[in-house]
A and B are shown apart, each in its own frame.
Chain A
Amino acid sequence: AQSVTQLGSHVSVSEGALVLLRCNYSSSVPPYLFWYVQYPNQGLQLLLKYTSAATLVKGINGFEAEFKKSETSFHLTKPSAHMSDAAEYFCAVLRAGSYQLTFGKGTKLSVIP
Chain B
Amino acid sequence: DGGITQSPKYLFRKEGQNVTLSCEQNLNHDAMYWYRQDPGQGLRLIYYSQIVNDFQKGDIAEGYSVSREKKESFPLTVTSAQKNPTAFYLCASSIGQGVNTQYFGPGTRLTVL
List chain A positions with a Cβ less than 8 A from chain B.
9, 32, 34, 36, 41-46, 49, 51, 90, 94, 98-101, 103-106
Q: Determine the distance from Cα of A42 to Cα of B4 in the docked complex, in whole angstroms.
A: 12
Q: Check if A43 sits within 8 Å of B43, measured CB to CB.
A: no
Q: Check if B90 sits within 8 Å of A99, measured CB to CB.
A: no
Q: Check if A43 sits within 8 Å of B102, measured CB to CB.
A: no
Given A43-B90, A90-B43, A101 and B102 contact (CB-CB distance below 8 Å): yes
**Which residues of chain A are near B48, meaning CB under 8 Å?**
99-100
Q: Check if B31 sits within 8 Å of A42, measured CB to CB.
A: no
Given A34-B101, A100-B58, A42 and B107 contact (CB-CB distance below 8 Å): yes
Q: Determine the distance from Cα of A55 to Cα of B4 in the docked complex, in whole angstroms.
A: 30
**Which residues of chain B are near A44, meaning CB under 8 Å?**
43, 90, 92, 104
List chain B positions with a Cβ less than 8 A from chain A.
4, 6, 31, 33, 40-45, 48, 50, 56, 58, 88, 90, 92, 94, 96, 99-107, 109
Given A32-B99, A99-B31, A105-B40, A43 and B104 contact (CB-CB distance below 8 Å): yes
Q: Which residue in B4, B42, B101, B103 is a CB contact (below 8 Å) of A105? A: B42
Q: Check if A90 sits within 8 Å of B42, measured CB to CB.
A: yes
**Which residues of chain B are near A34, meaning CB under 8 Å?**
101
Q: Determine the distance from Cα of A2 to Cα of B34 in the docked complex, in whole angstroms.
A: 19
Q: Check if A9 sits within 8 Å of B40, measured CB to CB.
A: yes
Residue ID in chain A nearest B35 by CB atoms: A103
Closest CB-CB distance, B76 to chain A, in whole Å? 15
Residue ID in chain B nearest A108 by CB atoms: B40
Closest CB-CB distance, A2 to chain B, in whole Å? 12
Q: Check if B42 sits within 8 Å of A106, measured CB to CB.
A: yes
Given A34-B101, A45-B104, A94-B100, A101 and B41 contact (CB-CB distance below 8 Å): no
Extra contacts besides A43-B4, A99-B50 (12): CB < 8 Å: A36-B104, A41-B88, A43-B104, A44-B92, A90-B42, A90-B43, A99-B48, A101-B45, A103-B44, A105-B40, A105-B41, A105-B42
Q: Check if A43 sits within 8 Å of B58, measured CB to CB.
A: no
